Structures are given as structure tokens and as C-alpha cells.
Amino acid sequence: MWSYAQGLPGLCHGFMIWMFLGARARSFRPTHLEQSQPVSQASLILPILSSALPTPKRRITCHVRRLRVHGIITGSSNTWHAPMGVTWSPAFLEEGVILFPDNRTQIRLRFWAACDLFFTNMRHLLELAIRRGMKFIIAIPFEALPRFHQQEKPSLADLTKRTYDTGFQETPLTYSKGGSAFMDQYLGKLADILRRPHARAVISMGGPTSWIARFYSGDRLVEEFMSGPSSQVTTHHRGHVTTSTFLNMPVFHDQLSHQEIKLIHGYIPLGSPSEDRWAFPMSEILEEYSSHWRVRSPIPAYQT
């Protein structure tokens, strides 16, 4: 189903350094591939291992001066950072397979790995992706799912079963009683969605969706995401499944429904797309209507 999942297979032992795409880009192959097998750099599946990246002999000079502001390449200085004492699950890093539904994430992570000596292992890059709102997926092969099975909390059992039933429909938001009533309704629904076991998937969705979730839930969802897949995958066998011809087995990951994503953004259906309203615009709206994110748009004078 995922076209990008047909590219480079996961590396089973160790992590090969990511090469910056461009004049210095070089093709590379995992050690277990036959030399005759073609490898596509347009798509990528990598295992998430904690082994260190080889230190380059010299720092690559990257032409990013016009994007630098006080030493920061992009974004602001108050971005999210992993809280003290919170660590990635070793099993999640060992068994996880990273997928890129948006290839721009792969390019950006390659860039940072090649140009910043701080990023010495995959955990640094994953936290960078979360901090910068990049979109990626960490999936678990079928054989590894038993390692993540946990007993579901009784307080969430009924809620979980109901939301995973086939044909389950969310209650839509309304704006019939004014702004204050809408905000109460929205925040209540948002809290309901973000406490569901699979809500951790929103962290790797990137963009405004992950920002909203982190803003209203704090670090809890990030900690849950770093611990591995939820009971949606391990117990209820829901979520999303894709296959990889290289792994020769399906891989599974948590997934929010389209209804849940819309409700996180405060979607108010009013009968037609031209009349529908949102408390927060979705990524698709920002991509479509913001020239800043258009690939072919000229760089404004104040950015040069």
C-alpha cells in the first residue's frame, strides 16, 4: 500500500552514515544485500538502532548561510526537548522500522546527520524529527509484536473497545452555542482522543497535528510514543499494516482515524467544504495555501 515502503530494506546490524543529498551524495547498500540488487534513494526503510554514527573525518561545509539566524538553521530556540529521565524503549529501537510517507523528512534528516556533529546516533535524529514536527512512522515487524504486548489498563478497556469497533463514528463538533461553548466542547473531545492508547501516533505525524497534541498533553504522549506500539496494534490488531518485500513480513504501527485527526484540529462540518471551519488548519491546508512551503516559490527578499 505504501509506495515508499518498496525502497531500501532495513539494516539488521549497525547503522550506516546518512550521506547528504547533492554533489556529495553517494549510493550505499546494506551489508546483507546482493551487490546486483538495485537500491533506490528516493524511498527508504531503516531500522532504528542505537549504535553510533561514524564520525566524519572533517565537517562538510553546507551552503545554508542565508537560512541561518543567530546560528539557528530554522525554527525558533524554544522547540521541544526530551525531558530528563525519559528514554527510548530499547526494544522499540531494536525492532522498529522507520518509514517516510513524506520524503522531505528523509532529506532533512540526512542533511542534519551530515552537517551537524551532534547527531551521533539514530535517537538524536528521531528526537530532532519530533522537535521540528517532521512526519515519519515507526512500524514493528509481525514477529516482534509479542515483545510489546502489555495488559491494557482496566480504566481504558471499555473506551478502547468502543473506538476500535468497525464502523465507529465520532460525535462531530458544533458551533451553535457560541465560541465559549465550542471551546468547552472542543477541549473535552480533544482530551478524550488524546487519552486513547493509539493517540501516541500523533507525535510522529508532524506538522500542526503533533504540535496541538504536545501543547495540550505535555510530554505524556511523547513518553508513550517512545515506549513502543500501543494496544491498538498488540492487542486489538487494528492500526495500520503495510508490507515490505525486503523484510518478507508485514509491519504494524499505530494510526489515528481521519475523524480523530479532524477533531484534533477542531473541525466543524457545515455542509460543504467552502463553509466548513477549523480551529487549527490542517497540514494539507497549509501546504495548499501558504506560498512559504511551496517548493517552486521564489525565496522572499527578507529570507535571502
pLDDT tens-digit readout, 129-159: 998 999 999 999 989 999 998 766 656 656 6
- In this prediction, residue 7 carries a pLDDT of 34
Range of 32-46, 61-75, 76-90, 152-166 with top mean pLDDT: 76-90
HEC profile for 146-170?
HHHCCCCCHHHHHHHHHHCCCCCCC
pLDDT > 70: percent of the chain: 61
- In this prediction, residue 273 carries a pLDDT of 79
Paired sense of beta strands 97-99 and 46-47, if any:
antiparallel
Report d(CA 11, CA 47) in Å as an integer.
6
- In this prediction, residue 169 carries a pLDDT of 85
Q: What is the DSSP string of 125-146?
A: HHHHHHHTT---EEEEEGGGGG
Q: Determine phi and psi for 58, rounding to 5 degrees.
A: -150, 155
Report d(CA 284, CA 289) in Å as an integer.
9
Bigger pLDDT: 58 or 256?
A: 256
Residue-wise over 44-60: b if at least 16 C-beta within 10 A, else e?
A: bbbbbbeeebeeeeeee
Tell me the average pLDDT across 20-39.
32
Bigger pLDDT: 62 or 31?
A: 62
Locate the domains of the chain by residue range: 3-303
Beta-bridge partner residues of 44: 8
Instruction: Check if the beta carbon of residue 114 is closer than 8 Å to that of residue 108.
Output: no
Confidence of residue 116 (pLDDT cuts 50, 70, 90): confident
Tell me the average pLDDT across 173-182.
90
- In this prediction, residue 120 carries a pLDDT of 82
- In this prediction, residue 288 carries a pLDDT of 77
Confidence of residue 239 (pLDDT cuts 50, 70, 90): confident
